[in-house]
């Protein structure tokens, strides 16, 4: 009996795309001839990958979280204002930012599950509220500064035996990814996917649908707060740090083969989707494609990825069936009643 | 097909609630809320010794409502069919540029400019619709992808305003009858047309059918693909009209006129605020116009009260979520009633 790697459904394509992009990077950029280049890539991609993991939980359970971009901005701006350069406040503020993420996730989840408002609307409302509130609080421009201790997580590195210097953010990312993968293999993770697939069935079989969806939003909020800490350290304080990240995270998740509407896809693939997206931007940059066209390429790619997934893992089969007049060959639909 | 199908019908919703009178549909609630808002706003503004609904106030509300209203009319159609369109904001910018650059200050080119802008808009809508129906991409991703492509094109080719609208064409943006801008009347006429189309014609009914349950619609012989494509073309044409209107107001085309105003998410918010179900199949243009007017009135009141502009966003978010929560409760209540009956 031969051992075959078991990949969750829909994971293979994104891994192939990622591999091709990484090979492309190795060819296009001399910096990618050695591991340090890839570590730098991973460090740059870590916040988006963490956001994608959080977004995955929400999407796979059948929702959307449009508030993560605003939450990242809020996290960075709050941290800068409260730390204000003082090293001693760092630990306290990090806890506060994480708590804020949890709270936002909790509110999103509670309004979605208890007030029955579609999550698209809830998180859109949260986006507006967060954006407005943060700027109201800071008076339009972020003030204060992050401490060096706070920024370590985003840009510092630590010596790891055998590997040498590894950025903190990569270690954090790997820990989160591992935890997420284990979580999704456990009972709660499987139930979460089941909620996205068929909520009524989960409810009827005694699953705690509301609690599971609430959990997804809380995790998304918490991970967005972590991403904010990493991004604040990596990129510094700005009021635009989170702009558009929600759509980028959703794109990454979809690129990873996760189906919008829930019920299908793996968390590792979602993270791989985020890494692919970041690699793609890096590659385009290396190839000298103008930054402006970047978004156009992103647009074409997500449409292609989703179309590929929707038209079937079966593009080859479909081509085989082409001459048979697919539509007329389809068996007549039995009357449903 | 509906992208955003989410639970609005959990089992526990069976708990009976005191039956509300059936005539309080979301549309009625929206207009009652609008009236209440106008009264409260008038009082608040009145306390500062000013008048909310004077000539300037009415003009302000209607001008704000015109552009968003046009986009939201189109967005209503796609949301009713269970789809949505995230590409409208960039399309507004693109069509404003096309119209202004084609006109290039010449009176004779006004008609070609308008037609070209509308044709491009219709083309983008066709692409949206085909990507969704033929490539079977989720509408959220399909229109987000098209939005990104449009954005790439705009960023690559434009750095700022371009083109020039002839003086004569600016009348469209600025002429008014009393306190009522002509463009607002045109927007209301478009809304009336959309209302007629949705509630009095066969293709309009088909949109509700597809949004309600696409499988049932297909089995009943509704050409579902054609309906979805039509909705997207009409939505994009509405966005194109917005671009043309804004070009006439600004005197030129501006690449980010649509995104700066956030017309993509804002129009969805207005539609949902107007009582249309995000999952499709329920709602209509009349409610949407009510939602647009509420948003425009809120803005005007806040301006009169000199409230911090960022506070507006907070209020907007809260209003949106509260409204939808109210509609959801009503639906749950009416379904519980339906089960009892």
Nearest-angstrom CA–CA distance, B76 and B62: 19
Q: What is the pLDDT of residue A317?
A: 41
In this prediction, residue A6 carries a pLDDT of 59
Mean pLDDT of all residues in B93-99: 96
Residue B163, domain extent = 67-286
Residue A23 lies in a domain: yes
Residue A135: which of B10, B310, B332 has the nearest Cβ?
B310
Task: Please check whether residue B314 lies inside any domain of the structure.
Answer: no
Q: What is the number of CB-based contacts under 8 A between chain A and chain B?
A: 172
| pLDDT tens-place string over residues B236-277 | 999 999 999 999 999 999 999 988 888 998 999 999 999 999
Q: Return the residue of B nearest to A337 by Cα.
A: B216
Q: How many Å apart are CA B146 and CA B157, to the nearest integer?
A: 17
* pLDDT > 90? residue B217: yes
Nearest to B243 by CA among B108, B28, B33, B74: B74
Number of domains forming the structure of chain B:
1
Q: pLDDT-derived band of residue A136, with 50, 70 and 90 as boundaries?
A: confident
Cα torsion for B146, B148, B154, B155, to the nearest 10°? Answer: -170
pLDDT interval class at B178 (50, 70, 90)? confident
Higher pLDDT, B186 or A319: B186
B7/A199 Cβ within 8 A: yes
Assigned domain for B26 exists = no
Q: Identify whether A267 is part of a domain.
A: yes
How much is the pLDDT for A3? 53
A1-60 residue pLDDT tens:
455 555 666 677 788 888 888 888 888 877 777 778 888 889 899 999 999 999 999 999
* Average pLDDT, integer, range A302-330: 54
Structure tokens at A249: 């995270």
Mutate to test the interface with B, among A55, A132, A264, A308 (most CBs of B within 10 A): A132
CB contact under 8 A, A129 and B131: no
**Averaged pLDDT, B21-42:** 85
| Predicted local confidence at residue A327, as pLDDT | 39
Partners of A119 on chain B (C-beta within 8 Å) are 6
Q: Considering the domain boundaries, does residue A333 fall inside one?
A: no
**A contacts of B320 (beta carbons < 8 Å):** 121, 124-125, 128
Residue A142 has pLDDT above 90, yes or no: no
Q: Is A247 on the interface with B (CB under 8 A)?
A: yes
Q: Does residue B248 belong to any structural domain of this protein? A: yes
Rank A142-156, A227-241, B202-216, B252-266 by mean pLDDT and report only the highest: B202-216
Cβ-Cβ contacts under 8 Å for A334 (sequence gap 6 or more): none
Find the mean pLDDT for residues B316-320.
Answer: 88
pLDDT at position A282 is 87
pLDDT bin (cut points 50, 70, 90) of residue A151 is confident
Coil/strand/helix, residue A157: strand
Query: What would you measure as the largest C-alpha separation in chain A, in angstroms?
Result: 72
Q: In chain A, which residues have their Cβ closer than 8 Å to the Cβ of B329?
A: 115-116
Residue B148 has pLDDT above 60, yes or no: yes
Measured between CA atoms, how close is B6 to chain A, in angstroms? 6
Asked if A298's CB is within 8 angstroms of B328's CB, the reply is: no
What is the three-class DSSP state of A243? coil
Within 8 A of B310 by CB-CB distance, chain A residues are 131-133, 135-136, 140
State the alpha helices, DSSP H only, in A115-235: 119-138, 148-155, 168-185, 187-197, 199-204, 209-235
Half-sphere exposure of A296 (CA within 13 A, CB side): 14
A317 in a structural domain? no
Highest-confidence segment of A79-93, A189-203, B227-241, B277-291 = B227-241
Least reliable range by pLDDT among A137-146, B32-41, B125-134, B239-248:
A137-146
ipTM score? 0.83
The Cα B8–Cα B215 span in angstroms is 19
In chain A, which residue's Cα lies nearest the Cα of B155? A292
Query: Measured over all CA atoms, what is the biggest interatomic distance in chain B, rounded to whole angstroms?
Result: 66
Band of the pLDDT at B90, cuts 50, 70, 90? very high
The distance of B322 to chain A (nearest Cα, Å) reads 9
Task: Output the pLDDT for position B10.
Answer: 45
CA distance B311 to chain A (A): 6
Which residue in the block uniquely carries the two structure tokens 């955003």? B4
The region of weakest confidence among A312-326, B42-56, B120-134 is: A312-326
Q: Lowest mean pLDDT of A211-225, A236-250, B277-291, name the range.
A: A236-250
Residue A221 lies in a domain: yes
A292 within some domain: no
How close, in Å, is residue A121 to chain B by CA atoms? 7
Q: How many CB atoms lie within 10 A of CB A273?
A: 32
| Residue B205, pLDDT score | 94
| Exposure string over B78-114, b if 16+ CB within 10 A, otherwise e | bbbbbbbbbbbbbbbbbbbbbbbbbbeeeeebbeebb
Determine the Cα–Cα distance for residues A266 and A135; give it in Å rounded to an integer.
Answer: 36
Per-residue confidence (pLDDT) for residue B26, from 0 to 100: 82
Residue A316 lies in a domain: no
Indicate whether A323 belongs to any domain: no
Residue A324 has a pLDDT of: 37
Count structural domains, chain A.
1
Nearest by CB: A311 against B135, B147, B272 = B135
- pLDDT for the residue A155: 78
A183 contacts: CB under 8 Å, gap ≥ 6: A189, A267
Q: How confident is the model at residue A292 (pLDDT cuts 50, 70, 90)?
A: confident
Give which of B16, B5, B39, B80 is closest to B282, Cα–Cα: B80
The answer to whether residue A335 scores a pLDDT higher than 90 is no
Tell me what the mean pLDDT of segment B161-172 comes to.
Answer: 90
CATH number of the domain residue A231 falls in: 1.10.3470
Tell me if B99 is assigned to some domain. yes
Q: CB–CB of B328 and A115 under 8 A?
A: yes
Give the structural domain span for A226.
Answer: 11-286+299-309
Question: What is the percent of chain B with per-residue pLDDT over 90, rounded to a whole number?
Answer: 58
Contact B136 A121 (CB under 8 A): no
The neighbour count for residue B152, using CB atoms within 10 Å, is 23
């Amino acid at each position: 009996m031969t051992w075959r790697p078991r990949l969750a459904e829909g994971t293979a394509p994104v891994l192939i795309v990622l591999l091709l992009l990484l090979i492309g990077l190795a060819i296009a950029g001399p910096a990618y001839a050695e591991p340090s280049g890839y570590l730098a890539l991973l460090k740059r991609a870590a916040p988006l990958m963490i956001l994608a993991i959080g977004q995955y939980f929400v999407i796979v359970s059948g929702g959307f979280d449009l508030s993560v971009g605003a939450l990242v901005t809020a996290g960075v701006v709050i941290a800068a204002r409260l730390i204000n350069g003082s090293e001693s406040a760092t630990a306290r503020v990090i806890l506060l930012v994480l708590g804020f993420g949890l709270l936002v996730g909790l509110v999103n989840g509670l309004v979605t599950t208890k007030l029955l408002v579609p999550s698209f609307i809830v998180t859109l409302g949260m986006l507006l509220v967060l954006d407005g509130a943060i700027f109201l609080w800071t008076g339009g421009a972020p003030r204060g500064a992050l401490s060096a201790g706070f920024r370590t997580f985003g840009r510092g590195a630590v010596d790891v035996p055998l590997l040498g210097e590894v950025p903190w953010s990569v270690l954090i990312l790997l820990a989160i990814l591992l935890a997420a993968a284990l979580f999704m293999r456990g009972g709660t993770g499987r139930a979460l996917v089941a909620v996205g697939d068929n909520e009524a069935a989960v409810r009827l079989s005694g699953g705690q649908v509301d609690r599971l969806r609430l959990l997804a939003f809380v995790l998304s909020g918490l991970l967005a707060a972590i991403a904010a800490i990493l991004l604040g350290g990596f990129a510094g304080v700005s009021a635009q740090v989170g702009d558009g990240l929600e759509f980028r995270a959703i794109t990454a998740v979809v690129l990873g083969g996760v189906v919008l509407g829930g019920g299908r896809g793996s968390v590792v693939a979602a993270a791989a989707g985020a890494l692919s997206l970041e690699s793609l931007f890096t590659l385009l940059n290396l190839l000298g494609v103008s930054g402006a066209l970047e978004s156009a390429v992103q647009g074409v790619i997500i449409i292609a990825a989703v179309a590929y997934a929707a038209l079937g893992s079966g593009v080859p089969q479909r081509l085989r069936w082409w001459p048979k007049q697919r539509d007329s060959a389809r068996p007549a639909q039995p009357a449903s009643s | 097909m509906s992208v955003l199908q989410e639970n609005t019908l959990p089992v526990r919703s069976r708990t009976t609630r005191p039956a509300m009178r059936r005539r309080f549909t979301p549309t009625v609630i929206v207009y009652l809320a609008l009236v209440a808002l106008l009264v409260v706003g008038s009082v608040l503004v009145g306390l500062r010794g000013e008048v909310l609904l004077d000539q300037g106030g009415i003009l302000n509300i209607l001008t704000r409502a015109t552009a968003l209203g046009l986009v939201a009319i189109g967005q209503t159609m796609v949301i009713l069919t269970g789809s949505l369109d995230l590409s409208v904001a960039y399309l507004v910018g693109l069509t404003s540029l096309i119209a202004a650059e084609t006109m290039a200050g010449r009176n004779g080119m006004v008609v070609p400019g308008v037609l070209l802008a509308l044709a491009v808009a219709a083309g983008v809508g066709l692409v949206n619709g085909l990507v969704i129906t033929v490539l079977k991409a989720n509408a959220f991703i399909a229109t987000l992808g098209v939005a990104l492509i449009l954005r790439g094109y705009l960023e690559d080719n434009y750095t700022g305003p371009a083109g020039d609208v002839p003086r004569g064409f600016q009348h469209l943006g600025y002429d008014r009858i009393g306190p009522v801008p002509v463009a607002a009347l045109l927007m209301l006429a478009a809304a009336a047309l959309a209302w007629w189309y949705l509630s009095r014609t066969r293709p309009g009914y088909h949109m509700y059918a597809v949004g309600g349950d696409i499988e049932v619609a297909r089995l009943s012989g509704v050409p579902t693909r054609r309906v979805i494509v039509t909705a997207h073309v009409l939505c994009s044409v509405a966005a194109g009209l917005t671009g043309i209107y804004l070009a006439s107001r600004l005197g030129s085309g501006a690449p980010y006129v649509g995104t700066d105003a956030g017309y993509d998410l804002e129009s969805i918010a207005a539609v949902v605020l107007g009582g249309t179900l995000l999952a499709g199949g329920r709602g209509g243009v009349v409610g949407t116009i009510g939602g647009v007017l509420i948003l425009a009135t809120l803005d005007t009141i806040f301006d009169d009260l000199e409230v911090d502009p960022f506070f507006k966003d907070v209020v907007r978010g809260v209003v949106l979520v509260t409204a939808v929560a109210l509609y959801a409760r009503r639906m749950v209540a009416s379904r519980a009633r339906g089960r009892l009956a």
